[in-house]
C-alpha cells in the first residue's frame, strides 16, 4: 500500500488528481466495466473521467467531493435522470447500475483519505449549438426548462434545499458571499452587493408564492 506524507487537502492540484486516479481505478471495480482507457476530465467540486471499455463503449465516472452533497441529494439527481430517460424525449447521460444493483456507490483509496460517493454514466458527446446568446434563444431555454418542470414527478425530491434564494444570493450562500470579493475595488463591490440585495427579494417572494416550483437545479438544464 502506498503511503502519503501530505494530506490530500494540502496536496497540489496535480498531486490530488494523481491520487484521485487511484480512487477511479478502485471505483470501476464496482461496475461490470473492463476499462482500457481512463482519461481525466476535471477536478473541481467533482472529479470526472471518461472511461472506455474493451468493447469501445464510453462512460463518465464521477467522484464526489466529500461533505459537498449528501447521498440523498445525489440520489435525487440520479433518479431524476432515469425518470426523464423513460420518456425517450431527452438525450441524457443515464446512470449505470453497479454490480450490486446500486446507482450510487462508495469507494476508497488510501491517498484520498475519505470514502467518497461515486457514480457511473453512459457517455454522451456534447455539442455547442450556437455561441451567440440572444433573447430568442433564451426564450427557448425557458421553454425547455418548463418542459422539464412538467415532467417532474411529485415523488421526486431535490434534497438540495440550499439552492434557494438565501443559498444563492443571501448573506451566507452555498458558494460563499459576493460581498467581499478579493481584489475588487470598493466602488464595484458596492454595486455588486446592491445588485445582490435587489435580486434576493424577488427570489424570496417567488419562493413564498410558488414553493412547489423550486424542484429543479442549475445542472438539470445542462
Q: Which residues of 30-60 are buried (b: 16+ CB within 10 A; e: fewer)?
A: bbebebeeeeeeebeebbbbebbbeeeeebb
Q: Give CA angle at 53 (50, 58), nearest 5°.
A: 40
Q: What is the predicted pLDDT for the residue at 177? A: 86
pLDDT score recorded for residue 89? 73
pLDDT tens, 67-111?
Answer: 888 898 899 889 888 888 887 777 888 999 999 999 999 999 988
pLDDT score for 42 = 94
Low-confidence winner among 115-119, 148-152, 184-188, 207-211 (lowest mean pLDDT): 148-152
Each residue of 135-163: pLDDT tens digit? 998 898 888 878 777 776 666 666 666 67
Cell 461490470, located at residue = 32
Q: For all residues of the chain together, what is the average pLDDT? A: 87
Q: Helix 71-85 to helix 135-151 angle, to the nearest 10 degrees?
A: 100
Decide: residue 178, CB within 10 A, 0-12 exposed, 13-18 middle, 19+ buried.
middle
Amino acid at each position: 500500500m502506498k503511503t502519503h506524507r501530505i494530506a490530500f487537502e494540502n496536496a497540489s492540484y496535480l498531486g490530488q488528481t494523481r491520487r484521485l486516479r487511484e480512487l477511479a481505478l478502485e471505483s470501476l471495480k464496482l461496475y461490470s466495466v473492463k476499462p482500457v482507457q481512463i482519461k481525466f476530465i476535471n477536478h473541481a467540486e467533482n472529479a470526472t473521467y471518461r472511461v472506455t471499455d474493451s468493447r469501445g463503449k464510453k462512460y463518465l465516472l464521477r467522484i464526489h467531493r466529500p461533505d459537498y452533497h449528501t447521498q440523498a441529494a445525489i440520489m435525487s439527481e440520479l433518479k431524476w435522470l432515469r425518470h426523464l430517460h423513460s420518456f425517450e424525449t431527452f438525450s441524457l447521460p443515464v446512470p449505470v447500475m453497479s454490480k450490486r444493483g446500486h446507482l450510487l456507490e462508495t469507494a476508497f483509496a488510501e491517498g484520498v483519505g475519505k470514502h467518497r460517493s461515486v457514480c457511473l454514466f453512459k457517455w454522451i458527446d456534447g455539442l455547442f449549438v450556437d455561441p451567440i446568446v440572444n433573447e430568442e434563444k433564451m426564450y427557448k431555454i425557458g421553454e425547455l426548462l418548463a418542459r422539464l418542470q412538467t415532467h417532474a414527478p411529485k415523488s421526486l425530491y431535490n434534497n438540495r434545499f440550499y439552492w434557494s434564494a438565501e443559498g444563492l444570493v443571501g448573506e451566507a450562500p452555498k458558494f460563499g458571499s459576493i460581498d467581499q470579493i478579493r481584489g475588487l475595488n470598493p466602488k464595484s463591490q458596492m454595486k455588486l452587493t446592491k445588485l445582490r440585495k435587489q435580486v434576493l427579494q424577488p427570489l424570496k417572494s417567488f419562493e413564498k408564492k410558488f414553493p412547489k416550483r423550486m424542484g429543479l437545479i442549475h445542472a438539470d438544464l445542462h
